[in-house]
Amino acid sequence: MPKDIAITEAEDAALARCNARARELAGDGAKAGIVAAVLRGDDVLAFGENEVHLRHDPTRHAEIVAISRAAEAQGAPDLSGCTLITSLQPCEMCLSAMRFSGIDRVIFGAGKAAVAGKYFVFPDLSLQDFRAAAKGDFHWHGPLRQDEVIDLYAHGDE
C-alpha cells in the first residue's frame, strides 16, 4: 500500500471516537459495538452504528449506515473524495458499498488478521485482492488503534 497519504489529525480523532463509541455499545443486545464515520477532508459528514440486530437487516453494518447518512446529508450519492473510518476492518459488502459511493480510502481500527472469522464471508479475499479488482485508486490504513477495540472482535463476541 502506498504510504504517501498520511493520516490527518481529524481522521485519527474520528477513529478514536468510533472506537470509544464501539466500546460503549459493546454488549448491548440491540446494537453491536461497531462504529463508522465518513469524512470529507477534516469534516465528519456522518457517523453510523451497526444496526443489524436493531433493524433485523443483515445489510445495516455501521459502514453502510454511515455511507447512507453521509450521502443523505450532502443530498447526493457520490462521496468521491471522502474517507471511511471504522472501528473494524470493513467486510466485503462494506468495501463494495464504499466503492459504489465513490469512496476510495478507508482507515480502520481492528484488522482482519486479529479478529474472529465471522466478520468476513469471504475469508480468502484480502484488501490487496480488492485493490487489484477495484477500478481507480483504493487506499487503506490499518489496523490502527487496534488495542482500543481488539477485545471486542477477537472472539466474535460483537
What's the rounded Cα separation, in Å, for the pair 117 and 103? 25
72 is catalytic: no
Please work out, in degrees rounded to the nearest 5, the angle formed at the alpha carbon of residue 41 by the alpha carbons of 81 and 2.
65
Question: Which residues are within 8 A (CB) of 93 and not within 5 positions of it... i.e. 6 or more apart?
Answer: 59, 61, 64, 121
Residue that is written with C-alpha cell 481522521 in the block? 11
Beta-carbon neighbour count of residue 11 at 10 Å? Answer: 21
User: Residue 13: what residue type?
Assistant: A
Among residues 49, 63, 148, 158, the one annotated as catalytic is 63
Nearest to 66 by CA among 117, 107, 27, 123: 107
Beta bridge mates, 110: 88
- 96: cell is 463494495
Q: Which residues are catalytic?
A: 63
